[in-house]
Amino acid sequence: MSDSASSSAKPDPSHASGLSFSKEPVDGGRRTWIAITCGVGAVGGAAVAVPFVSTFAPSERARAAGAAVRVDVSTLQPGEMQTVEWRGKPVWIIRRTPEQLAALPKLDPQLADPKSIRKPDELTPEYARNEWRSIKPEFFVGVGICTHLGCSPGAKFTPGPQPSLPDDWAGGFLCACHGSTFDLAGRVFRNKPAPDNLEVPPHMYVADNVLLIGEDKKA
Ligand code: FES
């Protein structure tokens, strides 16, 4: 039913976008969104290095079947992001710090859909329709594909003024293709090209620190 997604790599500081990936071989399906991500980084200029763990997991057989991906998040540190591949898409797992969590509700007035009420069945499962858009507050799970035209946004976790972002930036993601910005719950800011929040994929915890991405209790 599911395959283990256990391999990981620490960030390569030479890839400043924070969305660089491990030096493991990549297949054609991966290249599609990795290439998009690299393009985004180039357009966005200097980016912030984000503590990052990359995981490519399922076997060819599992990927072909669209199998759920099992991810052990026990080693993910606060402020780090891990990316896994599910059905050919990048899925981000972010372990948010208490400060990052505290910043989320303050952003509501700046967001297009702060309560994630748009397309709920498509974008936000019922168990993620809350202040954090997640099952456990600290762990956010989201599909890293912009809802505008499908680029993969770049991680911009460092708060404060920086190129292409507002001075009161609290940390989140910038889709440099057309400038859409998302907070650390994948919620899109107002008046941006992207119409919707990032998708929260079906997922569930099968152990205290083990996620299954691609299936949930409802399924
Ligand atoms: S694809 Fe993200 S803003 Fe256009």
What distance in Å separates the CA atoms of residue 106 and residue 72, rounded to the nearest whole number?
A: 31
Does 146 contact ligand 1 (Cβ within 6 A)? Answer: yes
CA distances from 185 to 13, 37, 205 (A): 25, 19, 18
| Residues whose CB is less than 8 angstroms from the CB of residue 72 and which lie 6 or more positions away in sequence, other chains included | 5, 6, 209, 210
Q: How confident is the model at residue 4 (pLDDT cuts 50, 70, 90)?
A: very low
pTM, to two decimals: 0.75
Mutation test residue for ligand 1: of 43, 147, 152, 180, the one with most atoms within 8 Å of CB: 180
Tokens representing residue 20 in the block? 């660089």
Alpha carbon of 202 to ligand 1 centroid (Å): 23
Q: What is the pLDDT of residue 217?
A: 78
Cα separation of 124 and 116, whole Å? 7
The finding on whether 198 has its CB within 6 A of some atom of ligand 1 is no
| Ligand 1 atom at shortest distance from the alpha carbon of 149 | 1
* Residues whose CB falls within 8 Å of the CB of residue 134, separated by 6 or more in sequence, listed in order: 128, 140, 141, 185, 200
- What's the token pair of residue 111? 């967001």
Tokens 């256990």 label which residue?
6
pLDDT at site 57: 52
Distances (CA, A) of 146 to 1, 21, 83, 186: 28, 19, 15, 10
**Segment 118-175, tens digit of pLDDT:** 998 899 999 999 999 999 999 999 999 999 999 999 999 999 999 999 999 999 999 9
Diameter of the chain measured on Cα atoms? 46
Atom index in ligand 1 nearest the CA of residue 151 equals 1
**What is the arithmetic mean of pLDDT over 181-208?**
97
CA distance 41 to 144: 14
pLDDT of residue 35: 39
For 14-68, what is each residue's pLDDT tens digit? 333 333 333 223 333 444 454 344 343 333 333 334 555 555 555 565 555 579 9
- Give the residue among 83, 91, 82, 80 at the shortest CA–CA distance from 171: 80
Ligand 1 atom 3: residue of nearest CA: 178
Structure confidence at residue 72 (pLDDT): 97
**Per-residue pLDDT, 158:** 96
Question: Using a 6 Å cutoff on CB, does residue 50 contact ligand 1?
Answer: no
Give which of 125, 121, 3, 132 is closest to 56, Cα–Cα. 3
**Confidence band (pLDDT; 50, 70, 90) for 8?**
very low
Among the listed residues 154, 108, 109, the one whose alpha carbon sits nearest the alpha carbon of residue 131: 108
**Would you please indicate which residues are annotated as catalytic (active-site) residues?**
178
- What CA–CA distance (Å, rounded) separates 218 from 210? 18
Report in angstroms the alpha-carbon separations of 141 from 16, 46, 155, 198.
22, 26, 14, 10
pLDDT tens per residue, range 95-113: 999 999 999 999 999 999 9
Task: For ligand 1, say whether the CB of 190 is within 6 Å of any of its atoms.
Answer: no
